Structures are given as structure tokens and as C-alpha cells.
Amino acid sequence: MTTFIVNGVEQTNPISNEGNFVDLIKYIQENLISDNQLVSCMRVNGVEITEKEESALYTIPVSDLDTVEIVLRHPREVAEETLQTLLIFTRRLPSLCKQVADQVEASEGETLFQTLLDHMQIFTDSIQTVKQILHIGINQTINLLEADLGSILKDLLDAHQVGDKLYRAQLLREHLPKNLTEWVDLGIPELIRSRDS
């Protein structure tokens, strides 16, 4: 690795060139991440990578990499960015739900259904991450929305497994979009207020 950059400042390579990418990740976790800073972005050879892509690189020798750049930020900043992105992301989900409902009713395959499930996983993971960062425990609005969403998703998967297209379409057309709209109108703003308190 020729260049290791932290928050825009070039640093000395913290591990030997014989080490693998996983060794660099361990160094970052043990020496740079703390209660006051998290990795908000990692770029390898100029390309931002996801956690999945990160783990795929574990066995790559660092000598095969040109640059590794990480951006460290305070957890509250990460939570703020996540909430703002989540607000935009969640506003789009009700229309996707209705498209999937149309596809289910017309028996046109499952590609959009799988996409929706992936999006819902991103949504729920993001909510959990923000709650953890902001140390949000019991919050009636959030807890009710989470319980409702969990129930809807369970029913949706159960209906999918037994082949109940009518109920699945109803959940996709009515219940899930309603819950997601409540997240946009009530849940995410409540998380933002929690961040500010």
C-alpha cells in the first residue's frame, strides 16, 4: 500500500506490506475507533466500499492496494447523516411497496419483492444503528412503529411462504406503506429530536 489516509491526512502505513487487508481493519478497529469516532467512509483505491466489500478484501495483501482512505467522524455526526439519508430513502419505499403489490397480483415474478425485502433490511438495520449510537432505549413512538413494522414484515413473509397473494398484496398496498409513512412523519423526526436532546 503506497498511501494510507485518515481524514484527508496521509499517514505512515501502520502495518507491514506483507500483511493482509484484514490486518489493516484490525489496526483501525483497535487504534482509531472509539466512543468519540467511528468510520463513516472507507475508500480503497479511490472507491468507497461497503462492509460486504470490505470483508471480501480481507485476504488481499495490502501491497496490492494503492490507497486506503478512511473518514472518521463523531458518532452523532454519523447518526445525523444516517437519519437525513434515511428520511429520503424511506419516502420512496411506499411507492415501491405498491409496485410490488401490482406485481404480486399479476403473478409477474419476485424480483421487485426481493428488492423490497433488501430495502427493508437496510431500513431496519439503519434504525437499529441510529438507536445504538444515540443510546435510545424506551421511546413509545419508536417502539410502537418498530413493533408494527415487525408484525407487518412477519405477516408478509408468512403470506409469501404459503402463497397467499391476496393478503400479501394487501399488506404491500396498505399496511406497509402506512407504517413507512408514519416513520417519515413521526418516527424519524422523533429520532432526530432524540439526537438533539
195, pLDDT greater than 90: no
Which pLDDT score is estimated for 196? 64
Amino acid (1-letter code) at residue 163: G
What band does 175 get if pLDDT is binned at 50, 70 and 90?
Answer: very high
Which pLDDT score is estimated for 108? 78
Mean pLDDT of the chain: 93
Which pLDDT score is estimated for 63? 92
1, pLDDT greater than 80: no
| Cell reading at 142 | 419508536
Which pLDDT score is estimated for 197? 63
State the average pLDDT over residues 157-171: 95
Which pLDDT score is estimated for 111? 86
Q: Spell out the residues 6+ positions from residue 135 whose beta carbon is closer than 8 angstroms to its own.
A: none
What band does 83 get if pLDDT is binned at 50, 70 and 90?
Answer: very high
State the average pLDDT over residues 145-172: 96
What DSSP letter does each residue of the chain carry, written as one string? --EEEETTEEE--SS-TTSBHHHHHHHHHHHT-BTTBEEEEEEETTEE--HHHHHHTTTSBGGG-SEEEEEEE-HHHHHHHHHHHHHHHHHHHHHHHHHHHHHHHTT--SHHHHHHHHHHHHHHHHHHHHHHHTT----HHHHHHHHHHHHHHHHHHHHHHHT-HHHHHHIIIIIHHHHHHHIIIIIHHHHHHHHH-
